Amino acid sequence: MKVAFQSLFPALTALIAFILTLLCLFAGSQRNLLDNADLLTLYTPEGSSNTANNFYSIHVMSYCQGTLAQVEPGEMSFSRNVTECSSRKILFAFNPTDAWPEEITHGPTLEWPRVISDDFNAFTLTSRSMAVFYIIGVGAIGFALLSRVWSFITGKEQTGLFEFGFLVLGALSISIASIIATVIAFEFVPLINAHGDGFNVSAQYGKKFLGMTWASTGLLIVGSLSSFVNVFFRDYEEPAMPAPKDEEG
């Protein structure tokens, strides 16, 4: 039983990581599909009133938009009301000038901080490369799981090396994507807040998204190490115990 669990442990970690990575990749691709598990949220003024009650929830392959409603009068807590989400694109990059309504960018009482558009344009290649790494990671994890299924069907363990290779590729890809997401959270978001100061434009990184992507990374690293041990250091079958000899006389 112990040997069987050790053999299946990499596949178990890969399965959970596969689900988490898919959630990171497809979150926000339609309304009510983990729209609060965003890479970052951008808060913008309404326009003439210059009050920050609009938001844009930016994801890996899309963005959603909506309004903020105060939960109770006088309280600082708000509820999010998502109104619509953009079409899903593999090489997606958020462009605030195209997404924001004209009354914000050309409103009579609001001087538009165009430097924010420049910030997003500068991170276009970074955002798109992150999506590519997530897709590569999903494909690699999928092949690792398929190799395990094939091994179960055929009863052969020779596919363990393929499983290990795909797990390493998946761990590397998701790790790079997670690093990019972390850079966006701790470098890009403060940049937006600095440039949006005075214009009622601010940003906040998604803690739930970072939690999911790094959890997936950790699972894949652990699974890769376990698969490495299974392939190179552990026999899958325990040696049979010698039968006891009958004593003569």
48 or 85, greater pLDDT: 85
- Specify the CATH number for 2-232; select among 3.40.50.2300, 3.30.1490.20, 1.20.140.150, 3.90.1150.10: 1.20.140.150
CA distances from 138 to 92, 154, 209, 236 (A): 17, 24, 16, 27
Q: What is the pLDDT of residue 82?
A: 84
Q: How far is CA 118 from the centre of its chain?
A: 25
Q: Break the chain into its structural domains and give their ranges.
A: 2-232
Burial 205-233 (b: 16+ CB within 10 A, else e): bbeebbebbbbbbbbbbbbbbbbbebbee
Q: Which two tokens mark 241? A: 């115990």
Q: What is the pLDDT of residue 75?
A: 53
Q: Is the pLDDT of residue 193 over 90?
A: yes
136-179 residue pLDDT tens: 999 999 999 998 888 778 766 666 788 899 999 999 999 999 99
57 or 49, greater pLDDT: 57
Q: Is the pLDDT of residue 49 over 50?
A: no
Of all residues in the chain, what percent carry a pLDDT higher than 90? 40
Q: In which order are the strands placed within the sheet that holds 63-70?
A: 78-85, 63-70, 54-58, 40-44, 202-205
Residue with tokens 């890809």: 173
pLDDT band at residue 84, thresholds of 50, 70 and 90?
A: confident
Judge whether 104 and 45 are in contact, CB under 8 Å: yes
Mean pLDDT to the nearest integer, 7-25: 92
Judge whether 62 and 210 are in contact, CB under 8 Å: no
Burial 26-40 (b: 16+ CB within 10 A, else e): bbbbbeebbbebbbb
Q: Which two tokens mark 90? A: 């593999």
Mean pLDDT to the nearest integer, 13-21: 95
H helices of the chain, where? 2-26, 96-99, 102-105, 115-122, 124-154, 160-183, 189-196, 207-232
**For the chain, what is the mean pLDDT?**
82
* CA atoms lying within 13 Å on the CB side of residue 178: 25
